[in-house]
Amino acid sequence: MKEISHSDANRPCHIAIIMDGNGRWAQQRDLPRVEGHRAGVASVRKVTEECARLKIEQLTLYCLSSENWKRPQQEIDFLMHLLEQYMIEERPTIMENNIRVRMIGRRTDIPEQVLKELDQTVEMSSTNTGMWLNLAINYGARAELVDAVQAIGKKLVAGALDVDAIDEEAISDHLYTAGLADPDLLVRTAGEMRISNFLLWQISYAEIWVTEKCWPDFDEETLQQAIRDFAGRNRKFGGLRT
């Protein structure tokens, strides 16, 4: 595996990943869908540790979309169990790698016990100084924009904000990701060519990289492949190629 230099100025500072294909991975092996989710946790650990080792500044993982609640209750219950278990079992890894954890998404509908463990991990890692691990849980980009517009509207009504002050920065400051840099690289697994309501505002200029691998098969080598591909692209941001 070709090693990526820590000093490589062309590597992404913020990687966002749509972790897709857990169920498909399980079905291909004649296993229950939940086994795909269980195997996916191992990939989360590998990728998180590798990003921390490479000194990536931010990693955002699409853990549970606001649309995923439509799935069978048994699967939802298992996902909540996995999330709670992850929050507890990964604390040593998070602390050893100096990772800061943050949740983005709506807290509604998430079981109280899961939120308790999540909040504890967030609090415990708050004094760390390394990579941000942003967990998108019960997240939907359209819901995020609705929440931002409502928050801005309340400030307008209260006289705390002038309508002429509403610009791109003001909108960004009212998103779940306020204070975090936008993603440079968006990765999607399982070969799907869609965004799935993920970070619609934030990925406006992100480079997109898709792999046919299902998420449980995504490993450190695949991550480095995505980063190398990113490094070879010419990001113009609307300007001329140099």
Name the residues annotated as catalytic.
Answer: 20, 68
Give the C-alpha separation, 63 to 44, whole Å.
10
Residue carrying the six token digits 């709506």: 106
Mention every residue, 6+ apart, whose C-beta is less than 8 A from residue 220: 1, 46, 47, 50
Q: Distance between CA 235 and CA 242 in Å, rounded? A: 9
List C-alpha distances in Å: 160 to 6, 146, 150, 178, 233.
44, 19, 14, 18, 43
| Three-state helix/strand/coil letters over 36-96 | HHHHHHHHHHHHHHHHHHCCCCEEEEEEEECCHHHCCHHHHHHHHHHHHHHHHHCHHHHHH
Nearest to 201 by CA among 146, 122, 133: 146
Q: At what angle do helices 73-89 and 33-53 cross, to 10 degrees?
A: 30
Distance between alpha carbon 42 and the CA centroid of its chain, in Å?
A: 16
Please check whether residue 204 is in contact with residue 235, taking contact to mean a CB–CB distance below 8 angstroms.
no
End-to-end CA gap in the chain: 30
